[in-house]
Structure 1
């Protein structure tokens, strides 16, 4: 019998090292990390699927370990240490049937094969913030970071990058424009790559064009953009900021389509559903939220108790199906219906109270009442 973990729509990783599966029909989260092994030294900083069937989740931790979690069994089945470099994982991917791709903040990108003697290493430059794999061509990855511009690498020819982005021209004071790519993603069906920066810019690059500078650039807000995800259709992109802003940007004209409301903390994890107009976000306010791209207010909202670093959506679960059977594990989330009912009861209680007149300020005499005229 399959584990209740198989019914989770979203997986989230927390600073405390907890891996939680969230069932959106039940507004319920289950912690699959034992309480005794929770530690900030093992905080989760990267998640990815271990296979195409989405039966395994790969979990990258701060201590350099990559854990394999089986959604069929509902437990961790393997732990592999991936030493080398410094800083947390800024990217995690699977190459082929067994190879694992890791990338850390110091710039070391490594492909881990079953035979350790054949491991591939390349240096992508210090200050990396993100590494992502091209879904259509798994041998290609892109990297970007602080003072480390966008690069595209072919793991079969790792000597030099296939594409190295060129910085935009100097500003109107003829000063160098700083580089700070925080997140990036490949556009399906083309060579184009979209990035968001710590200087609130969204840029679109086309490696197939002669120019290495962005072919489109726009800005959003005044705070660093921290996460990015392509909407279904790849005509727009959803970006999140360090202040908690969430916006949909049109990639054809570079204009703001709409802002999504309800977030109270910096966004760290962001992912759009591959086929439905839904986007999931999480971050410092400890909530997982699901927005429909056409609506401003969240459709689902689940409190998860810990500050959240990353998330992973299941594309195989039917998000509109009736609620799945209740898992036997302890619940770790709050239901929106209970919160709404409590708010309604509190409003009714305050409305039933009689208003109390405020006392006159000290030093001021009460006004004399005028006597009625004759």
Structure 2
């Protein structure tokens, strides 16, 4: 019986409600969990349900939660976080709560599936949760700039959370035209630094511990420390931070398969400064590439340069950076890897030192929506 148990290093959730296990040794894809709920319902998130990493928590877009035991193959429905059938964007997990994000509000639910808070917004596009500490989460959207909340301030006496930080937009441009806002990706970097990407090919970094206090609503507000508009990029759809070999990298994926790779200096992450635009001494290098053959490059201001390339990668839906833990795949285990999901139904895995040439390119048949790594 034990020989029949397969523990895959990578699991993929799909838009058809199927969970796929990826065997990297032979690039084999297996359907681990079939249509346990409804084949037309996307899988929003996959989490490990226990510390042993042999039970998977599956969250569907209609709010239903299931657990799947890899050892016993048992599937169990544990509850519903969306009884009113709202259009969900994401569901994040806290030690004590579930953070349910829809297009127009945030709901906080207990692990016993009791709703204890509701915060109303307009046009939410994305949500992100801090890992250390995991009590912080941030939201943003179309004309809804970055806001950060601390869930530990949520009490029964104060069910309406107040943001601990709100982003302040950049000043009007040289024609006195307001800068539009559309946050499409959020990534926590350090204890007090957070980055966003936008639909207007911008990447910004904020320090949410800066002492700029708005007395009217008890909220910290500040403009970005770094604001970059990437030449040649398209609308960004996702953002990932990596720290490897003493390098600090921000990697943004756009909706045409472009990857903007920004290498930051140490002082830009730990120091404090004034809002800046390119050229900036806080940025070592900016690269823009697509998975494919590099065909051209040129230099921009202050010896920063941008790579342009053609490639086959389409709209990037998710980026993960990790050491893949697979006993059978030594050459991947020893290197930092970038895993990318896209709408062309491919999982691509690249070494961070050579992102443009994937070492694994696996066709999944279904559109991938989320990824879980052992």
TM-score normalised by the shorter chain: which range applies? 0.7 to 0.9
Report the 3-state secondary structure (helix = DSSP H, G, I; strand = E; otherwise coil) of the residue aligned with 1:285. coil
Alpha-carbon offset, residue 304 of structure 1: 0.4
Superimposed CA distance per residue, residues 184-232 of structure 1 (whole angstroms, 9 cap, x where no aligned partner): 11114x2111111111111111011235111012123331111111113
Q: Which residue of structure 2 lines up, in the alignment, with residue 239 of structure 1?
A: 252
Q: Which residue of structure 1 lines up, in the alignment, with residue 276 of structure 2?
A: none
Structure 1: distance between partners of 2:5 and 2:195: 33
Q: Which residue of structure 2 lines up, in the alignment, with residue 309 of structure 1?
A: 369
Q: Which residue of structure 2 lines up, in the alignment, with residue 56 of structure 1?
A: 55
Superimposed CA distance per residue, residues 110-141 of structure 1 (whole angstroms, 9 cap, x where no aligned partner): 2333262xx33231512212222211112211
Structure 1: distance between partners of 2:136 and 2:84: 21
Alpha-carbon offset, residue 37 of structure 1: 5.1
Structure 2: distance between partners of 1:185 and 1:88: 23
Alpha-carbon offset, residue 46 of structure 1: 2.8
Alpha-carbon offset, residue 32 of structure 1: 2.5
Structure 1: distance between partners of 2:225 and 2:199: 19
Alpha-carbon offset, residue 237 of structure 1: 1.5
Alpha-carbon offset, residue 311 of structure 1: 1.8
Contact 1:232–1:277 under 8 Å retained in 2: no
Contact 1:270–1:280 under 8 Å retained in 2: yes
Superimposed CA distance per residue, residues 59-96 of structure 1 (whole angstroms, 9 cap, x where no aligned partner): 33222222223334345323421126765433333222
Call closer, same or farther: CA 1:26–1:144 in 2, change over 3 Å.
Answer: same
Q: Say whether 1:222 aligns with 2:233.
A: yes
Contact 1:271–1:312 under 8 Å retained in 2: no
Alpha-carbon offset, residue 35 of structure 1: 4.9
RMSD: 2.5
Q: Say whether 1:289 aligns with 2:299.
A: no
Q: Which residue of structure 1 lines up, in the alignment, with residue 94 of structure 2?
A: 95
Call closer, same or farther: CA 1:37–1:114 in 2, change over 3 Å.
Answer: closer
TM-score, structure 2 normalization? 0.75
Report the 3-state secondary structure (helix = DSSP H, G, I; strand = E; otherwise coil) of the residue aligned with 2:317. strand
Superimposed CA distance per residue, residues 308-328 of structure 1 (whole angstroms, 9 cap, x where no aligned partner): 2222222xxxxxxxxxxxxxx
Structure 2: distance between partners of 1:169 and 1:2: 63
Q: Which residue of structure 1 lines up, in the alignment, with residue 331 of structure 2?
A: none
Superimposed CA distance per residue, residues 264-318 of structure 1 (whole angstroms, 9 cap, x where no aligned partner): 311111111168421101121101000111112001011000122222222xxxx
Structure 2: distance between partners of 1:17 and 1:299: 27
Contact 2:17–2:36 under 8 Å retained in 1: no
Name the count of aligned residue pairs.
309
Q: Say whether 1:202 aligns with 2:203.
A: yes
Call closer, same or farther: CA 1:5–1:81 in 2, change over 3 Å.
Answer: farther
Report matched runs for 1:110-189 at 5 Å: 110-114=108-112, 116=114, 119-123=115-119, 125-158=121-154, 159-188=161-190
Say which one has the larger Rg. Answer: 1
Report matched runs for 1:15-26 at 5 Å: 15-26=15-26
Structure of higher RCO (CA pairs closer than 8 Å, 6+ residues apart): 1
Alpha-carbon offset, residue 241 of structure 1: 0.8
Q: Say whether 1:256 aligns with 2:286.
A: yes
Call closer, same or farther: CA 1:115–1:128 in 2, change over 3 Å.
Answer: closer
Call closer, same or farther: CA 1:48–1:251 in 2, change over 3 Å.
Answer: farther
Gaps of 5+ in 1: 315-374
Contact 1:85–1:104 under 8 Å retained in 2: no
Structure 2: distance between partners of 1:223 and 1:231: 21
Contact 1:90–1:104 under 8 Å retained in 2: yes
Structure 1: distance between partners of 2:19 and 2:148: 31
Contact 2:62–2:85 under 8 Å retained in 1: no
Call closer, same or farther: CA 1:17–1:149 in 2, change over 3 Å.
Answer: same
